[in-house]
Amino acid sequence: MSMSIDRRSFLAAGATAATAAVLPAAFGQGESGGGRPVRIGLIGCGRRGSSLASVLLRLPDVRVTALSDTNPANLQAAAGLVTAGGQPEPARYGDDPEAWRRLLERDDVDAVVIATPWDLHAPMAVAAMKAGKYAAVEVPCALSLEECRALVDTHEATGVPCMMLENWSFRRDNLAVLNMIRKGLLGEMVHCHCAHSHDCIDHWFFDPQGNDRWAARFLIEHNRDQYPTHALGPVLSWLDINVGDACATIASTATASRGINAYFARKFGPDHPGARRKYAQGDIVTSVIRTQRGRTIVVNYDMQLPRPYDNRWMVQGTLGLYREDPSTVYVVDRSPKYHAWEPFAPYQKEFDHVWWREHGAAAGAAGHGGTDFLELKTFVDAVRARTQTPIDVYDSVTMSMVIPLSERSIAAGGVPVECPDFTGGRWKTRRPTFALEA
């Protein structure tokens, strides 16, 4: 595949375009264009990868041509999904932990979808961009500032887009709220709250028998917001982060670590090793991000205490506010009663996003309330048109940088730490592109 990419013309387009930037001809023409299907290579065929494969197989004019996984059973099962979907047997790469690199050499792969453990995301996405393949990488896209920098540098050097698959940015309610904000209903934005409150102890960090899964080691070794992207996804677009504002500082505090030991003692008895092992990770992490324009965002990590799922989104401006739970809104001069909540449902109807109006029926059956469908559809549409992806590399690393920055702040006693500006100052002139309606 030809890889001569005009980096300067891509950056110029990306810096000024109000709509999705068209990539240089040298990158795109004649590759996935010409009316033939978009060809996807999937790296990581576990729970999430196989679920993403099922969605990809439902999209028109998409082929899953190659798979990589070091687990033979997962590789086999994913290949079965592809053939059951009526597509030819995909090429398979699984004989060693580096086998995925050979998938990237294939001419019949336009883009890769990466759904492996966290520490593999950035190296795989960097290698994909270097090979000229669009990269869609699961959350988080990076664990360290060095990985964030490598993703941005590689994107800027190659011109190849990289999108973190942050599905909550595509939620129907969150996109309606974005439309309300863009139409000025809530006035000037001032403050947001968001959380990932999701008890993942017994199926994700550990298996139901109490054995470590790959994510367990992060709880043993680190004290930080381990998973900030689902909380921050919609907030970035609500506050125009990287396109008019930017994160300036973050200050984080963690509670003591009690929940994991308590879970093991409750389920397996006080003598179980999990009940006695020391975990670095506090149960609740609260971070306050202050932006360059003086807005604040409270982000909560909350994944190891027993509780129902919750994101606790709230966005507040000079004319009103929206809160996700309970689904209510208050808008000056519009809400019928002074200082009284009203239901969000009529606003959802009035400000429903075009993606949901046009694709809601198809999206509805896919995972995570249809958001998986929309994120993959819009990603694949960008690959087909050789345009920038709906979530770009700057937004991807901005959501992920909270992981290392919160760890640094917690270790320093909660002091604010400076957020790197991965746009190199261009946040002042860049304009929103995510989910724009015509």
Specify the 3-state DSSP secondary structure of 302: strand
Give, as ranges, the residues between 100 and 129 that touch ligand NAD (CB under 6 A). 100, 115-118, 120
What whole-number distance in Å separates Cα of residue 350 and Cα of residue 42? 38
Residue of 43, 103, 104, 405 interacting with ligand NAD (CB under 6 A): 43
For ligand NAD, which is the closer residue by CB, 116 or 287? 116
Task: Enumerate residues 73-92 that contact ligand NAD by CB under 6 A.
Answer: 74
Residues 218, 404 contacting (CB under 8 angstroms)? no
Find the part of the chain contacting ligand NAD (CB under 6 A) among 40-48, 255-263, 317-325, 416-424: 40-48
Using the rule CB under 6 A, is 378 a contact of ligand NAD? Answer: no
Confirm or reject binding of residue 139 to ligand NAD (CB under 6 A): yes
Amino acid at 399: M
Contact map string, positions 160 to 199, toward ligand NAD, x by CB under 6 A: -----x-x--------------------------------
Number of C-alpha atoms within 13 angstroms, CB side, residue 219?
27
CB neighbour list of residue 160: distance below 8 Å, 6 or more residues apart: 5, 27, 128, 129, 130, 132, 133, 134, 135, 154
Neighbours of 384 (CB within 10 A): 20
Rg of the chain's alpha carbons, rounded to an integer?
22
Pull the structure tokens for residue 67. 């798979």
| Three-state SS sequence of 166-224 | CHHHHCHHHHHHHHHHHCCCCCCEEEEEEEEECCCHHHHHECCCCCECCCHHHHHHCCC
**CB-CB neighbours of 212 under 10 Å:** 14
Choices 39-47, 237-245, 274-282, 399-407; region in contact with ligand NAD by CB under 6 A: 39-47
Point out which span in 20-28, 45-53, 259-267, 314-322 binds ligand NAD (CB under 6 A).
45-53
The nearer residue to ligand NAD, 379 or 427, going by C-beta atoms, is: 379
Q: Which two tokens stand for residue 3?
A: 């890889």
Query: Residue 2 corresponds to which tokens in the numbers above?
Result: 């030809």
70 binds ligand NAD (CB under 6 A): yes
Q: Is 237 in the site for ligand NAD (CB under 6 A)?
A: no
Q: Which residues pair with 130 in a beta bridge?
A: none
- Judge whether 269 and 275 are in contact, CB under 8 Å: yes
Instruction: Tell me the closest approach of the beta carbon of residue 138 to ligand NAD, in angstroms.
Output: 4
CB closer to ligand NAD out of 51 and 328? 51
Q: Considering beta carbons, is residue 27 or 434 the nearer one to ligand NAD?
A: 434
User: Should residue 428 be labelled a site residue for ligand NAD when binding is judged by CB under 6 A?
Assistant: no
What is the footprint of ligand NAD within residues 299-318 (CB under 6 A)?
A: none
* Residue 360 sits in the site that holds ligand NAD (CB under 6 A): no
For ligand NAD, the binding residues (CB under 6 A) are: 43-49, 68-71, 74, 97, 100, 115-118, 120, 138-139, 165, 167, 214, 368
